[in-house]
Amino acid sequence: MGEDAKTVKLKLPERPAAPSGAPPLKMLVVNDDLAIRLRLADLLAPHCPSAVIDSCTHAAALEMRSRLREYAAAIVVVDFAGTPPPLEALQVVAQIKAVARSIAVTVIGRNGGERSAVEALRAGAIDYWSLHHVDASALVDALRAHFVSTGASSTMSVAVVDTGPLIAGYRIVKELARSPRATLYLADSEELHQQVAIKVHGHRERAEASDSEQDRFLRECRLLSQLNHRAIADVFDFGVTDECHWLAMEYFPAGSLKARLRHPVAEAEAIAYIRQVGSALRVIHAAGVVHRDLKPSNIMLRADDSLALIDFGLARPSQSDSGLTSPNVRVGSPAYMAPEQVQGNPPDERCDLYSLGIVFYELLTGELPFNAPTIQAILEMQLKATPPALPSQLARYQPVLDGLLSKRPIQRFTSADQFLEALAVASGHVPMRRKA
């Protein structure tokens, strides 16, 4: 079986164990696009905390045959405007059901409509959702209801979502997001009389909660406290309890740039957004800080459409020798990682500019410039692949992208200021300077 046909084990954060004597719930996310599978797994995980979530391609799902019976539920993503045609793609649903009749299949449609939902249910799905309007909580509730109505044995019906830690002065409202490193909660602040976001790093019964992890947390708190600028999320408080260390910061009800990218972004919006991100980088670089994990999910939107950077857990002083990250250790997100980060070399401001180029391309086109079915393939593209050319109507921005996405740091823009000047020229905001 080739690499693309393997089931990918998604590394999820630690979750409560299944009830005594009950096997863990197993779910399978099926789609040929790894990025979509990872996104869905991230959405589902907080709502079924004791579950094991695997993912694979359509072809791999069919190759699993009898092993499909190990799964209680499958989430199959179908592109109703893609290739193969939707009816042929929906055959995956019918074939999964033919092998494992008890599996609960939910279809998530891309570019679909009412007719798509009807066809999905005919193929054997128990539910249908649009990819851009997936409510993970409601989807999991529907699966629970299905298991109860059919009498199926599943730990999903008794799984309890973590209600969050006890932090004096704050009342946890709900979980917003979860990663292997931290959990983000919405909370009411008694002192501020407003809602805040609390980033929590749990360490109860975790022997592996090393001094370096806590050093990273304290460094993030100090960095955010020092970077007092509208382009950076406001920090209100931080502390340590017996259960966790936590950081209370500005809450962004409008969500992240990642969520905004699920819908088309007009050219003028893209330029306005990327200019703000460039300005934010100018601020942190002037403070001698490299973010190292710039990506849409770490760029938040306010109600007035202004942006703010968050998640400085990987940030470090430029050219730092603190030793908090060992040489030749990759940090960051593969789809947005600069070549020097892939190679484990010490980063400087130019690695943030490379990540900015990825975000810029994604804003302009709705697609990632470097995308592949496996993480290793994406990293290889970051090292070697030439960025795809922009569509002709956006060609004036190609020199700006080239100045951001060069594989060699020495050939990139030297600063966020230089990028902002080039962007202004390309977008027609200022006249081209004459060379001396």
By annotation, the residues acting in catalysis are: 293
Rounded distance, CA 295 to CA 291, Å? 10
Q: Do the strands 52-56 and 26-30 form a parallel or antiparallel pair, or are they unpaired? A: parallel
